[in-house]
Structure formats: C-alpha cells, structure tokens
Structure 1
Amino acid sequence: MNSHIILALDVGGTTVKSALCDLHGQLVSGVNITSVDSRGSRSVILKRFSEILTGLVAQSNKMNLEPVGLAVAFPGPFDYEKGICLIKGVNKYEALYGMDLSGFFRNEVTVTELFPVIFDADSWAFTRGQYLKGAAIGARRIIGITIGTGLGSAFMEEGRIVQNERGIPPYGWIGNLPFGKGILDDRISRRGILARYREISDSLQVDLDVKDLYNLAVKGDTVCMKLFCETGSLLAEALIPFIKIFYPDVIVLGGKISGAYEFIGPALRKELEANLGSINLPKILKAIDPDSSTLSGLALHLAEICFGGGSI
C-alpha cells in the first residue's frame, strides 16, 4: 500500500453517503449514495452497512490505498464517544437501539482493535463540512440546519461545536424543543411537512412525497408554496432566541428538503428581519456541495483527533 486514506460515511434516514478521503479531507473517490431502509430489522440495516464498507475497502484495495480510520456521521440520540445507538421513538434505526456500532464497523473493516472508528452527529458533520469546504468558509459563528427525515442543527464558533452552554441545548439540537402538542421535529421534517400538507390541502392524493410537493410549488401551486414558506417562518421563530444569544454570522441550510430553499430561505429571512431588524442579521445561505463537504469534514475531524491533523 502506498497511501493512507480514511473511510467516511454519512448515515441518513433514507440513504448513506460514503467516500474515500485522504488525511487532508480531500476526496479521492466519488461520493457513493446507497439507499437504506432505516425502518428495517437490525439484520437488514447491518447487511446494508456491511455492503457499503465492503465496497469501500475493495475500492481502496483497487486504488492501492490503505484505510487507517473510519469516520461515521450518525443521527441521534447516540452515544458518540462509545459508538452506541440510542435512537428510539423516531421511526428510524430503532432496531439498532443499544448496539455497539463501533465494534461492528471496526470488525467489518479490519481485525485489529487499534483501528480508529469515530462517530459524529450528522448535523455536526454537516456544519463542519460547510465551515471547512462549503458555504460558511471563514465564518466565525455558524448555525447549521438540516431538514430531511428529521430536523438537525448545530452551533459552531471558530471551528468548535458549541453545545449545552450559553442557553444552547445539548448537542445543539433544536428539534427537541416543544412545538404544539409535540416537538419542533414533528413539524419541520419530512413527516411534519407531509402531515401539514394533508391539513391544508383538499387533495385526495395520498402518495405524494415532499419532492412532489416541491415540484408542485415550482409550478405555482399556492398551497405547496405556502407550505414551504410556512416552514421557513416557523424555523425563524425557533431560531430567534438562539440568534439573540449566539449572534451567528451565517445560517446554512442543508438536508434533502433544503432543495426547497427558494421558498424556505426567503421566508426565513423575512421572519427574522421582522423580529430582529436588518442590522447584524445573519446571512442565510444554502449549503454548497453538502455531500462531499460533509464527508471531507468527517475525514478531517478523524485526522485531527487521531493523527494530529493530517499525518501519521
């Protein structure tokens, strides 16, 4: 083997993105996007993870590259230090509850117990990636937001994830904040947007997904346009208290549903201006190349922790 590389996985609710990265965070392969049934049984989910890792290792062997670590972004709740899944009650990866995924992933790649495997919150990895290689390069304070199967968030200051201090919630997750009869994640997420559409629409179609609603909004469907604008306004309301204590330079939007940025972004900005004024208002940006940036950020994070930032 000639060169060292890091295996990077970004585990989402419907897909897993993966790539080979060097120790400086540069991708040395394309981004692989593999579907996953996060509602499936433990064996079904682990089989998919195993297939992804087997493919990455085979790809590295073919390129004469040696894997020296594995970095995984995973949704929470999760014990990121121990690598134990704690997800329960959110209709994804519940079959993995209580499992030591660190040991599983390591055994899929190598027989050595010294092989480093680290885990990062998916929203943290996204925000690291945007800070290092995406829309938020050079920003001092960032709030990263991902909208997909759930609502993810992270607060970063000068490259450091901030959580559980200055009024910022544990893990920097605002999705657990109370909203209506539930939590914010129940409304600003795939399931929340679909449920809200059923509330305000007289459509009899039951098989529409968020992408279909976006396509209808682009075509001028007023109900769908209202739906996404309303999502942006609600997000603004949730963020206002944190903007007042954190003073972000930038808010970066990512996740699959950020594809509707043309509706969500302006509505978010309008609501923030109405409540905070235009002075010192953070920039609202759509994520740049989020898939590769997140994977690069993961690799760099592992390199910094295990190899002093890019060398062995």
Structure 2
Amino acid sequence: MEKPVALGVDIGGSHITAALVDLETRTLVKNSIKRSPVNSQENKEVILSAWCDIINKAFQNINGTRNVGIAMPGPFNYEEGISLIKDQDKFKSLYQVNVKEELAKRLDIPVENIHFINDAAGFLQGEVFAGAAKGNVSVLGLTLGTGLGSSLCLNYKAFDADLWNSEFLDGIAEDYLSTRWFVKRFNQLSGKVVAGVKELVEIVETDHHATMVFMEFGYNLAQFLIPIIKEHKIDTVIVGGNIAQSFSAFAPELIATLKGNGIDTQIKISELKEHAALIGAASCCDLSLT
C-alpha cells in the first residue's frame, strides 16, 4: 500500500517553503523541507518557475501519486486556483492567472491533485490536524505580528475569518493587535522608541511602561475575543506569529479579563509554529477529511 504522503507548501510574499507530510502520523517527513526566496515583483514565468523548482526538489524521493496542498495569501479563488491579488505590492503578474492549471502543467500533476487553502486558515488547519487544537471542534486562530491574521475552524474545517479590518475601539482590530501598536503605545507612555515587541519583552521585568503596554494589550485582546468566542462558541483559541513569543507577558491580563466575563475558553500557543501552514496545507490532500 502506498504511504499516505502529501506535499505541504507555504507561499509568502518573499519566499516559498515546501515539505513532505506523512498524513498517517501527521508529521513532517524528516529532512524534506525545502525553502527558497522568491521575488513577488517578478513576472509570471519567474515566479512559477521558482515555485516549481522547490516543489520538484521536495518531491524528488517520491514515486507514484503526487498530491500538493498550498497555503496561499488572499484574495484568491481557492477552489479554482485563480489569483485575485492586485493591490498588495506582490504577485501582480499572477492577477487572474489560474495558478492551479499552470502548476499542474509544469509539474505534470493532475489538476485535481493540487489543493489551495488560505494561509491563515492553513495555519489553523495544521494546529487542528496535528497541533495544539487537535480534536477541537470550534477553534479560533490568530497570527499576531506585523499584521493580524485570523481564521476559524468549525467542524474541523478551517477558513479565513478576515477579522483584521473589523471595527474595534477607535479604529480597526489590526491597529491594536499588531507590532505597530506596541511600538506606538510604548512611545506614547515612555517617550522611548523600540523596534518591536522583542525589545519590550527584554525589559518588561524592569520597565513599568513595558509592563503597562503588555497588560493593556492583554486587556484589548480579551475585549476583541469576547464577542467572537460567544458568537461561534469557541472552545480553544490558538495564538501564533511573532507576538505569541511574548505570551507570558500579556497572558495574565488576557485570561483574567476573559474569566471576569465568564469565559473559560482555552488560550494556547501554536505548537507547530512555522510548520503549521505546511501541515495544514498538506492535510487538504487527506481524502478522509473531505
């Protein structure tokens, strides 16, 4: 019997990463990760050739059926495989290109063996398939970093929640739940300039302004989560992205505020981290999930 292996691919604005995933053990195949920088400003041929090069390298020891799951930023028609990205300073040359058909032709893989998933949804799908949310039915995934990524997984199927621009406080959610908020708020309180969250973590024990910023962030995050948790009956929230590395600094205020509002939803850090989208994308090829 053929080993149930699929290729998970994570595509970003500056890179492609690919790895084989054993769908039975739900783990990455050892030493199978391939990664390469890709300039998203290039023309269609350069971009697609670079992607195919990495995909072929990752598949080099696999004989038989090839299945590929690709985590891709939006806007994108994930069912048909057509790129709709046009105003984001990346992948302009792929606008309205049927990427699924182009890859199938170049890789000599049947179109039906190539699957696409939103990158934020891929992250959460990975955590539900093999990580911190394994077995949970209703899960919210947040990737906190330079931007706010969000996804919902209901009945084991993840999709992009697109919450970054939802109304929140005096603006939108991303204004308060991203790296730039930390930098701006710390500057407002202290008059000092930091490059990012990592520097604040390093001084949080000794700088009361840094402590205040993390407490305020935890409170704001809880206020953002409360209506979403109630609406979708979320049992687990998975937090990923660079800001998740400072979880211990904002978690006490976050959890206390949630409990103060009668919410006992579990808040967990991503287990799979940068591998989550790879495993989540590959899991789209698991026929038992469809």
Please report the TM-score for the alignment, with normalisation by the length of structure 2: 0.81
Which secondary structure does the structure 1 equivalent of 2:67 belong to? strand
Structure 1 letter corresponding to 2:161: G
Show the 5 A alignment for 1:157-306: 157-161=154-158, 171-179=160-168, 182-204=171-193, 208-217=195-204, 220-274=206-260, 276-277=261-262, 281-304=264-287
- AA matched with 2:191: D
Mapped to 2, the partners of 1:259 and 1:247 lie a distance apart of 26
**Structure 2: any 5+ residue segments left out of the alignment?**
none
Equivalent residue number for residue 41 of structure 1? 41
Deviation at 1:229, TM superposition (A): 3.3
Aligned positions, number: 288
Amino acid aligned to 1:60: F
Taking the aligned partners of 2:101 and 2:179, their CA distance within structure 1 comes to: 31
Structure 2 equivalent of residue 26 of structure 1 = 27
**1:76 aligns to what SS in structure 2?**
coil
Identify the residue that residue 166 of structure 1 maps to in structure 2.
none
Contact between 2:143 and 2:239, CA under 8 Å: does it hold in 1? Answer: yes
Tell me if structure 2 keeps the 8 A contact 1:3–1:65.
no
SS of equivalent to 1:233: helix
What is the Cα deviation at residue 13 of structure 1?
5.3
Offset from partner CA, 1:25-70 (integer Å, 9 cap, x none) = 43214474747577x5134x97466445423422432x34456122
* Cα shift readout 1:177-233 (whole Å, capped 9, x = no counterpart): 02356421233223444444444442256xx2443343343x533333433333332
Equivalent position amino acid for 2:221 in 1: L
After superposition, the Cα gap between the structure-2 partners of 1:184 and 1:50, relative to the gap in structure 1 and judged at 3 Å, is: farther
Matches within 5 A, 1:108-187: 108=106, 110-114=107-111, 116-161=113-158, 171-179=160-168, 182-187=171-176
Post-superposition offset of 1:288: 0.9
Aligned 8 A contact 1:86 1:98 in 2: yes
Kept in 1: contact 2:74–2:118 (CA 8 A): yes
How large is the Cα RMSD of the aligned pairs?
3.3
Q: 1:227-281, CA deviations, whole angstroms, 9 ceiling, x for partnerless residues?
A: 333333222211111212222211111122211111233232122123x12xx51
1: distance between equivalents of 2:65 and 2:190? 51
Task: Give the superposition deviation at 1:284.
Answer: 0.9
Shift of 1:158: 3.1
8 Å CA contact retained: 1:10, 1:73: yes
1:81 paired residue number: 79
User: In structure 2, do the counterparts of structure 1 residues 66 and 157 end up closer, same or farther at CA, with 3 Å as the change threshold?
Assistant: same
TM-score (norm: length of structure 1): 0.76
CA distance, structure 1, for counterparts of residue 202 and residue 47 of structure 2: 30
Write the distance in 2 (CA, Å) between the matches of 1:14 and 1:210.
22
Identical aligned pairs, as a percentage? 27
Q: Give the C-alpha shift of residue 81 in structure 1.
A: 1.6
With over 3 angstroms needed to count, the CA separation of the structure-2 counterparts of 1:213 and 1:79, relative to structure 1, is farther
